[in-house]
Structure 1
């Protein structure tokens, strides 16, 4: 048996570097799939691997062969099914503190105030809206479905875009830094759960984008004037404009309500102000 002290002394800096890299990659992947449908599939794979191990130990040849074929061809099927998640996961792994530090300057302006004021105005007027704020993962592919813009982000412009009968009001606005880079954009609808399919189109679109990217997506309901946010594959309802401001800044916000739970949620009554 190897002496623990001798083993510890034999570990080189390269071994430590390899362990650190592998740990970082696994941490990023686990943090990304948390709460997503990929986590459910991962649980299923673990169960199948356990059954395969038992079949191999008990020498159950037929089960072992069938699971072996499933693993061989199932990998290709998973690559196709989870292509959006894999793309977003790779981008998530590439996020490093240096990148965040370089982008921190974008938060020093009044972007969060412009967005919070616009959301409050839209909610007060009962105007539906969906605003996607780009983070690390690029939203360029969704810009192709709408109108490309290079306009400075302002409260008035956001309110104008979502005005009823405006040609761009039905789609999503995409915000990059301090600019509105797209309007009238079509976002992917969430297919993650039965409950998500009972939501309105705007909420499903917001959740769909949050499942595939790290974007912060803000939704104002046309029917109830309530404010919701999709982030990290989850949709939270009943936020205030001040909470929206904090989220845009990157500050954590505690919101107990989920979509469908109306207890205590903030609303701006129509005609007030």
Structure 2
């Protein structure tokens, strides 16, 4: 063994001893960051399934609904036109909000991350030429999707059909499987919008 090899070996050991607290802290941060990302991915999936379950229920009941899911562009200016809710996304709450004669059922629900941010919100109607058969909810959904990158889901009160507006385009008569595909294809961009997660060390 050469002198140089010996110096490197003992130098590495000494460095590990000297910098042990910093190394432990760095490894802990790395593990924590990974756990947070895993949690966020799981939470994105949960949000998608809760929204999907609510939409299926509302369609089955024939209750109209409009649900906008924020992506990168904030929806605060629209949220201010409704009532702040600040509740974790759940199918039960969404279904209750859109029950006929409830005070908030006529407006839109705005979701930010894993929270229902606002309900009863007023959205801008599209100024584009659209099918004359489309009602106010569909026009509002298209309007918001033209101004922001939100995913806007509509349940028709007249036909019970499910539709989604994204980037000014309306896709109608979606099946549950198709809506799930759309949500899971778009929602991963919500990772940064999810509420901060505090994990035990």
* Structure having greater relative contact order (Cα 8 Å, sep ≥ 6): 2
After TM superposition, the runs of 4+ consecutive aligned structure 1 residues lying more than 3 A away are 102-107
Out of 145, 166, 184, the position equivalent to 1:249 is 184
Q: Is 2:149 the partner of 1:210?
A: no
The one of 123, 146, 165 aligned to 2:59: 123
Q: What is the TM-score with the length of structure 2 in the denominator?
A: 0.70
Provide the aligned C-alpha RMSD in A: 2.0
> Cα 1:180–1:120, aligned 2, differ >3 Å: closer, same or farther?
same
Q: Which residue of 1 aligns with 2:126?
A: 190
For 1:11, the equivalent position in structure 2 comes to none
Structure 2 CA distance for aligned equivalents of residues 240 and 151 of structure 1? 27
Number of corresponding residues: 150
User: How much does 1:106 deviate?
Assistant: 3.8
Q: Which runs of 5+ in 2 are unaligned?
A: 1-35, 188-201
* Whole-Å separation in 2 of the counterparts to 1:150 and 1:138: 15
Q: Which moved more, 1:204-213 or 1:107-116?
A: 107-116
**Other structure's SS at 1:150 match:** strand
Map of 1:108 onto structure 2: 42
Name stretches of at least 5 consecutive residues in structure 1 with no aligned partner.
1-101, 253-273
Contact 1:174-1:182 at 8 Å conserved across structures = yes
TM-score under structure 1 length normalisation = 0.52
How far the C-alpha of 1:182 sits from its partner, in A, is 0.3
Give 1 or 2: higher strand fraction.
2
* Counterpart position of 2:91: 155
